[in-house]
């Protein structure tokens, strides 16, 4: 979904996921720094922060889920320290 700021957060694949997930995003500018924030929906705590690597506006990040317990998570795109896209849901299976 395109936001007013021109940022797009893609759908996690696969979802549900067990060991890793790939998430794509499109940034408004090629040189922006971004990270993916995973929040446990049960506790509300941030469970994982992953820098989005690469250059260019269109990026794809593979995220290892080994440190996350099974459960439901919201993932968000943070660009230059600001939330840039609506959260989406990810289910991690055992």
User: Residue 5: left (phi > 0), alpha (psi -120 to 50), or beta?
Assistant: alpha
Domain count, the chain: 1
Domain of residue 53: give its range: 8-92
- Do the domain assignments include residue 52? yes
- The CATH number that applies at residue 38 is 2.60.40.10
- pLDDT tens profile 29-63: 888 999 999 999 999 999 999 999 988 899 999 99
- Do the domain assignments include residue 53? yes
- Do the domain assignments include residue 15? yes
- pLDDT tens profile 60-86: 999 999 989 999 999 999 999 999 988
């Amino acid at each position: 979904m395109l936001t007013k700021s021109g940022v797009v957060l893609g759908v996690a694949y696969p979802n549900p996921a067990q060991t890793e997930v790939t998430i794509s995003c499109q940034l408004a500018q090629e040189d922006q720094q971004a990270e993916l924030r995973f929040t446990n929906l049960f506790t509300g705590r941030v469970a994982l922060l992953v820098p989005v690597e690469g250059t260019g506006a269109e990026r794809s990040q593979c995220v290892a889920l080994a440190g996350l317990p099974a459960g439901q998570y919201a993932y968000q795109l943070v660009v230059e320290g600001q939330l840039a896209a609506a959260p989406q849901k990810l289910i991690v299976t055992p």
